Structure 1
Amino acid sequence: MGSSSSMPEEVQELADKTGFTLEQIEHLHRRFKQISGDQPTIRNLRQGPCGLADEINFEDFLTIMSYFRPIEMNMDEEQLDHFRNEKLKFLFHMYDSDNDGKITLQEYRKVVEELLSRNPHLDESARSIADGAMMEAASICVGQMEPDQVYEGITFEHFLKMWQGIDIDTKMHVRFLNMDTMAHCH
């Protein structure tokens, strides 16, 4: 994480930027070193032109992980809305691989196929699962989108409407960040 003389200041900056505690940052740094094989970066192992970076450093890793941290009990409603909105923006951008502000059926299929490709029993079904999920998304947006618009892609505003009433905090939450349960993870 840098030279030892600048580490406390550097760690404090990361804490301010990501919302993690100093203890959580230290734990995540140990995990990063394990994943990277004690190297300063982790290679992006996605094949093809996908992926925004060939390598990510610890700060990038920490920033990504910050989207999965649990909500803080002392957040007011405005802070909660902002926090949830940031999680949903991150999730939206995972699907919107060409960064055009829309999730197309092809982009959605690709993500679902990548997620299911490791399971040989679901590999054949991945396309139909993605198609069904996209049609369900379209049905949620009925009245807000014309049928032709669904095929052009779902915008972030439509994506937000799809997630209304769903507890994003429990869907995008990493429990290992709770320092009390970390002893069970080793």
Structure 2
Amino acid sequence: TSEQIEHLHRRFKQLSRDQLTIRKENFDSIPDLEFNPIRGKIVHAFFDKRNLRQESDGLADEINFEDFLTIMSYFRPIEMNMDEEQLDRFRKEKLKFLFHMYDSDHDGKITLEEYRNVVEELLSGNPHLEKESARSIADGAMMEAASICVGQ
């Protein structure tokens, strides 16, 4: 809605300190991200050209308000008045966005190592869990997913 866009524009201006673009370091001032274990991946996703619907690969140095809106659209909730086609497209866009967050080497695949890194990052805030345990959890989940994919 226009109110949501106005709210996002105010947030953009606050983050950019009234500049026309935002850089990665502007995200350092967001308290809600400070203790998020995947903070780096979230910030990275804002600058990933694949998420900005650009043809080239890699990271943008800065984003403008239109880019900011594009990224924020991935976070919006499902609307009740969406038809099946809109709902399908919406879900695919969200999945693609998430996939890009975890495909850190941009090769179109999420490797076991990339998956391990994500699990380790997510569990890093747990002081009772050692890195090796996190790796074991990641390996077990990947093995389970692999067995489902091959139909065992």
Give 1:172's aligned residue.
none
Asked which structure has the greater CA Rg, the reply is 1
What percent of counterpart residues are identical?
Answer: 83
- TM-score norm. by structure 1 comes to 0.54
Structure 1 segments unaligned to the other structure (5+ residues)? 1-20, 145-186
Alignment of structure 1 residues 1-186 onto 2, 5 Å: 21-39=1-19, 40-43=21-24, 46=40, 52-122=59-129, 124=131, 125-143=133-151
Partner letter of residue 58 of structure 1? F
State the SS of the aligned residue for 1:103: coil
CA contact (8 A) 2:15 2:22 kept: no
Alpha-carbon distance between aligned partners in 2 of 1:120 and 1:36, rounded to the nearest angstrom: 35
Partner letter of residue 109 of structure 1? R
Alpha-carbon distance between aligned partners in 2 of 1:109 and 1:121, rounded to the nearest angstrom: 18
Q: 1:30 to 1:107 in 2, by over 3 A?
A: same
Q: Deviations over 1:11-65 (max 9, x none)?
A: xxxxxxxxxx221111122233344454531316749xx7634433333222112
CA contact (8 A) 1:43 1:56 kept: no
**Count of residue pairs the alignment pairs up:** 122
Partner letter of residue 70 of structure 1? P
Partner letter of residue 133 of structure 1? A
CA contact (8 A) 2:123 2:129 kept: yes
Q: Deviations over 1:75-96 (max 9, x none)?
A: 1111111111111111111111
Q: 1:79 to 1:132 in 2, by over 3 A?
A: same
Q: 1:118 to 1:59 in 2, by over 3 A?
A: farther
Segments ≥4 residues shifted beyond 4 Å: 36-39, 44-47
Q: CA RMSD in A?
A: 2.8
Offset at residue 104 of structure 1 (A): 0.4
State the SS of the aligned residue for 2:81: coil
